[in-house]
Amino acid sequence: MTAKILDGTVLAKKLRADFKTRAEALAARGTRPGLAVILVGEDAASQVYVRNKVNACAQAGFHSEKISYPPEVEPGLVLAKIAELNADPEIHGILVQLPLPRHFDSDAVLKAIAPEKDVDGFHAENVGALMQGNPRFIPCTPYGIMKFFADAGIELKGKEAVVLGRSNIVGKPMAMLLMQASATVTICHSQTRDLLFHTRRADILVAALGRARFVTAEMVKPGAVVIDVGINRLPDGKLCGDVDFGPVSEIAAAITPVPGGVGPMTITMLLANTLEAAERGAH
């Protein structure tokens, strides 16, 4: 079997065309969706992510603001800026690029964002709403993955889903969404005793570990749907996922590539959340 490639670039393009139309309709009624992105420090990867987010906004016809601070900035200044953005009617979404420098209390910063503008969905109030099955904002990476399933007509009800990784931004919300879609979910992490036992019975396998090519073909059930969230840089500078793509794509039913899979969908769902926030505000 050769897996169907779940192409994030193609799906993202389709969704973004729809967002652009919706943004134009909203703008005609006097509201332009607006996103503010706060970047603290000089981390190269973070700078690329922020630039991509701001560019994606421009392409979709959204307003965006990038606010940059040096790594040694006083946290109080960032909190004051967040308070200002919370009150700014032109801003519907606020995002603080993580990770923050060590002298920051990241939880306190995320809590300072008004929950109705928390387009990353990391505020405790929004995490709670998601857990209760009544989400206001779904974290962008798992939200994008759910779009892959919907677009490809992949049934989740009754399926065995295994999520590798338990982070707040990917693993946990992913597991919650799969459970709410009536899959039977197992979450694995670094202390899981027999990883192979779990991965080999997964109909849906989501890898979010941050370990290059960790998931090999022998770990995958033939016919499984494999979602690769990982972004790892190899010594030669190339990017690869958490899944050993070549051999696994020989036995899986469907698979996301890296790059060109989950990554483009994550930014796309940031646009979706910003647009939804603007539409809510305009009603």
Binding site for ligand NDP (CB under 6 A): 141, 164-167, 169-171, 188-192, 195, 208-211, 229-232, 262-263, 266
Please name the residue that has the structure tokens 């993580």.
98
Query: Between residues 112 and 209, which has the closer beta carbon with respect to ligand NDP?
Result: 209
Name the 3-class secondary structure at 186: strand
> What radius of gyration do the chain's Cα atoms show?
19
Residues 279/22, Cβ–Cβ less than 8 Å: yes
Residues whose CB falls within 8 Å of the CB of residue 32, separated by 6 or more in sequence, listed in order = 23, 26, 61, 62, 63, 90, 278
Of 7, 81, 97, 118, which is the active-site residue?
97
Min dist. Cβ of residue 125 to ligand NDP (A):
21
Query: Between residues 134 and 191, which has the closer beta carbon with respect to ligand NDP?
Result: 191
Residues 160/224, Cβ–Cβ less than 8 Å: no
Query: Between residues 193 and 283, which has the closer beta carbon with respect to ligand NDP?
Result: 193
Min dist. Cβ of residue 279 to ligand NDP (A):
24
Min dist. Cβ of residue 33 to ligand NDP (A):
21
Query: Between residues 33 and 230, which has the closer beta carbon with respect to ligand NDP?
Result: 230
Min dist. Cβ of residue 268 to ligand NDP (A):
10
- What does DSSP say about strands 254-255 and 239-240: parallel, antiparallel, or unpaired? unpaired
Of 81, 117, 118, 120, which is the active-site residue?
120
Of 53, 147, 159, 172, which is the active-site residue?
53
Q: Directed axis angle between helix 262-282 and helix 44-59, to 10°?
A: 50
Token digits for 279? Answer: 């539409």
Active site residue 97: yes
Residues 94/119, Cβ–Cβ less than 8 Å: yes
Query: Between residues 1 and 48, which has the closer beta carbon with respect to ligand NDP?
Result: 48
90: closest CA among 165, 135, 31, 37?
31
As a whole number of angstroms, the distance between CA 91 and CA 217 comes to: 46
Residues 121/252, Cβ–Cβ less than 8 Å: no
Min dist. Cβ of residue 104 to ligand NDP (A):
17
Known catalytic residues are 53, 97, 120
